[in-house]
Structure 1
Amino acid sequence: MKTDRKKIFQQRFNRYYPMLCRIAAGYLPSGDDCEDVVQELFISVWNHGKDNLEEDAFVAYLKTATRNNCISFLRRRQHIDTISTDEESTLQLSDTTDTDSPRDYGSLLDTLLRQMPPKCREVFMMSKIQKMKYREIAAALDISEKTVENHIGKAIRIIRTYATQHPTLLLLAICSELIRLGLWNIH
């Protein structure tokens, strides 16, 4: 029984590892970080017995967990960077920046995502970052395609509201991120 579990787990690892690394690459700039996050996910899956899920549920779980682990990784890294440069940043930025403005594009994206309700955020990330189709999102989350459309619409309204309050910052950040993620071709 244990050898069957190991064999199935190894097959799933080989099948889904490349896809999960591509998903992680949408969040993390370093290929090594992507691989670390995905490998840690598979260790967690094994240790917590999540490898016994049916195939569709397992894939949905892996995609969602990869996204969540990448966001956690970025938050930890940002927190460490913030702690190490806190005094320097305070001196350099004290009179020149708006304290409500995010410091970089990653934190701007995080700010926008935090303004979204949890399910709306999850659907938005699956659609725009993981590039899943509405049908796939609906199946993974066990909701209707219309509900997926409603969540995307709500996310877009939240982004528009933020854009009206911070137009220049948001425009530059969004254009840069969309180009970096390959979601907007400038040709």
Structure 2
Amino acid sequence: MSRWEPNARGRLEQAALELYGEHGYEQTAAAQIAARAGVTERTFFRHFADKREVLFGGAQQLEQAFVDALAATPATAAPIDAMASALESVAALFADRHAFARQRQAVIAASGELRERELHKLASLVAASTVTLRERGVSEPAASLTAEAGLAVFRVGFERWVAGDADRPLADHLRESLAALKAALAGE
């Protein structure tokens, strides 16, 4: 494949997932990923800071989607309803990404370094959501609690979606997880 073909970033992501699945994350080098994707190693580093970021490159987009959706929710919405709206909005980012998400999660689960990186990215998402909720006028500790609860709902729903079949959209799993949280808080 020519290095001038379009979608180098997507090809790099797919090549990395394949190689991580075949050889493991630790045994795969950026040069191997670039070669599999049909680009130079220099092109790899134009798209990603390191081989971990191939798996986490979309974290900023996810965080921005959460923040934008929270900010766009009507000011009269309760904090948890604003978070529910954000979850619905974010679920759209994962349409047609089930196979990729499943592969990605398997690679992350197999590496302590990657699990740690994932936790760091998720903590950043909580922090950004908390700030946005505060900007909406939600006081503490409600802003922090809502952001943490929203992330918990996202993680549980996402894990169930990845483990399930591709026929059910992520949004369904997120709604179910949020409903389960609300039921647990109501003592049901």
Q: What is the TM-score normalised by the length of structure 2?
A: 0.30
Name the structure where helix makes up a greater proportion of residues.
1
